[in-house]
Amino acid sequence: ETGEALEQIKRLSGLSINKVMAARGDIERTINQFYGFRATMREAEKGISSSAALSDLEQLSHLKSEEEISSSDKHIQNAVELILHYALTNRASDIHLEPKREETLVRMRIDGALNETQRMPRAVHGAVLSRIKILARLDVSEKRRPQDGRIKVQKEGKESEMRVSILPTVFGEKAVIRIFDAEMALRGLGALGLYPEELERYQRFLARPHGVILVTGPTGSGKTNTLYSSLKYVESPNRNIVTIEDPVEMVVPEFNQVAVQPVIDFTFATALRAILRQDPDVIMIGEIRDRETAQNAVQAALTGHLVLSTLHTNDTASSLTRLYDLGIEPYLVKSSLIGVVAQRLVRTICPRCIADTEHTADELKSLGLPPNASMNLKKGTGCDHCRNTGYYGRTGVHEVLEVSDGIRQLIDGKTSDTVISGMARKEGMRTLKENAARKMAEGITTFEEVLRLTSV
């Protein structure tokens, strides 16, 4: 087969061929150099300058219909496809297309870090944005208002959902594309990064027939993945699972998913009231944002439903204070709340360039660790596999608080978060800081990542 392929290339190119050995990565980089993103953008810019005496493609786009833009500008189509393909290949969670005065920056968030990946000529920005709008079924002619849409992309037989947000800025429209990996979100509780004892505790939460389970943490801490994995864990043919989201982030056929629309007063609270008339067994609320949603969620739990939702709090104990602030009486909290999971994401060390490292006694002390602690400290030295960052992928760091009888006695609206957290630790809970240090000691992540997590 190789011989036939070489003969075919020889016939098509009219050139003689010498076979040499090369690493796969070197071949891929060379292909990308001559046929990849930059080469495609160069061709796109040439095509624009030769087809019209206009310096800015935004002006050119006014002279064309949507169909003409999407069908005739093949270099623009290729450029957009390459951007999306690069993002999927490199596990990006977000793509940023940022117009500047002279050019457009393409930045991608990979493993939680936002970095510049490419620069585009300013002349092609309008056409690229138009192509993205067409894929997301947005209004190409509207450039003054924000727009939101969705794109579905197939890569190697795997479908990925992308949420598109368009925002007008002083230099033109900025696009951010959020990528949702359904396989990652539904791969199971065991892939979340929970330690065995925490996983067992969380599975006990999910085995309960009714009550409230909360997942807390800042934006981008993996709460959505935890919720979807949890729903997949409890999913069965004889259960009615309903989700309320803003918007629906991943379409899962086994769930009945509802997108709220605040513009028509279809909020989390109103959706939840309607869902309670739909005979649900399990309800997932994307976020408890206000008093009415909190009250309805607690009422749903007290009337025999398992309710999962999220809050923006720093740790497990502070979620109790947040519920009080939302107007939930302590006696309702103690009778409805099953448990709380606080989480963060830390980058994991690249397995291909992992190496031993050491840290000073003061550095270890800053994490609450003894200077002579027995640890397998590692770091990534940087390689092509991890784009010279030393990190590849992320894992969760968790704090799992179970509302035991002891904790329940402290839910009175007066006991401080510190006291509640102290009781939970006596009952076996490890804090976020302790679990992060544990992952560092096991060579999973680095001192710098743990320091970043604990300083937030």
Q: What pTM was estimated for this model as a whole?
A: 0.81
Rounded to whole angstroms, how far apart are CA atoms 353 and 369? 26
* 100 to 97, 169, 197, 383: CA distances (angstroms): 10, 9, 50, 31
Higher-confidence position of 201 and 156: 201
Whether the pLDDT of residue 104 is over 70: the answer is: yes
Angle at 365 between CA 362 and CA 369, to 5 degrees: 140
Rounded to whole angstroms, how far apart are CA atoms 347 and 357? 17
Instruction: Round the average pLDDT of the chain to a whole number and report it.
Output: 86
Whether the pLDDT of residue 30 is over 80: the answer is: no
Output the DSSP codes for 410-421.
H-SS-S-HHHHH
Closest CA to 129 of 45, 70, 200: 70
Tokens of 217: 């943490």
Q: Summarize pLDDT for 201-211 with one digit per residue, the tens.
A: 999 999 999 99
| pLDDT tier for residue 53 given thresholds of 50, 70 and 90 | very low
The stretch 397-414 carries a mean pLDDT of: 97
Please count the other Cβ atoms lying within 10 Å of the Cβ belonging to residue 359.
19
User: Looking at residue 300, what is its pLDDT?
Assistant: 96
Report H helices in 73-166: 74-89, 125-135
Q: Are 256 and 274 in contact (CB under 8 A)?
A: no
User: Looking at residue 58, what is its pLDDT?
Assistant: 39
> Is the bond preceding 237 in cis, omega lying within 30 degrees of 0?
no
Whether the pLDDT of residue 344 is over 90: the answer is: yes
The stretch 360-376 carries a mean pLDDT of: 74
184-455, CATH topology level: Rossmann fold (3.40.50)
Q: Are 399 and 315 in contact (CB under 8 A)?
A: yes
Whether the pLDDT of residue 68 is over 50: the answer is: no
Whether the pLDDT of residue 231 is over 70: the answer is: yes
| pLDDT tier for residue 37 given thresholds of 50, 70 and 90 | low
Q: Which residue has the tokens 């957290």?
A: 421
H-helix or E-strand containing 110? strand 103-110
The second-level CATH assignment, the architecture, of 20-180 is 2-Layer Sandwich (3.30)
Cα dihedral across residues 276, 282, 286, 292: positive or negative: positive
Domain coordinates in residue numbering, the chain: 20-180, 184-455
User: Looking at residue 60, what is its pLDDT?
Assistant: 36
| pLDDT tier for residue 45 given thresholds of 50, 70 and 90 | low
Q: Are 279 and 213 in contact (CB under 8 A)?
A: no
Whether the pLDDT of residue 57 is over 50: the answer is: no
User: Looking at residue 63, what is its pLDDT?
Assistant: 35
H-helix or E-strand containing 406? helix 405-410
**DSSP at 429:** P
- Least confident range from 50-54, 83-87, 139-143, 286-290: namely 50-54
| pLDDT tier for residue 12 given thresholds of 50, 70 and 90 | confident
Whether the pLDDT of residue 49 is over 60: the answer is: no
Higher-confidence position of 291 and 64: 291
Q: Are 93 and 62 in contact (CB under 8 A)?
A: no
User: Looking at residue 1, what is its pLDDT?
Assistant: 59
Number of C-alpha atoms within 13 angstroms, CB side, residue 325?
11
Q: Summarize pLDDT for 254-313 with one digit per residue, the tens.
A: 999 999 998 899 999 999 999 999 999 999 999 999 999 999 999 999 999 999 999 999
| pLDDT tier for residue 77 given thresholds of 50, 70 and 90 | confident
Q: Are 185 and 227 in contact (CB under 8 A)?
A: no
User: Looking at residue 312, what is its pLDDT?
Assistant: 93
Question: Buried b vs exposed e over 52-70: b needs ≥16 C-beta within 10 Å?
Answer: eeeeebbebbeebeeeebb
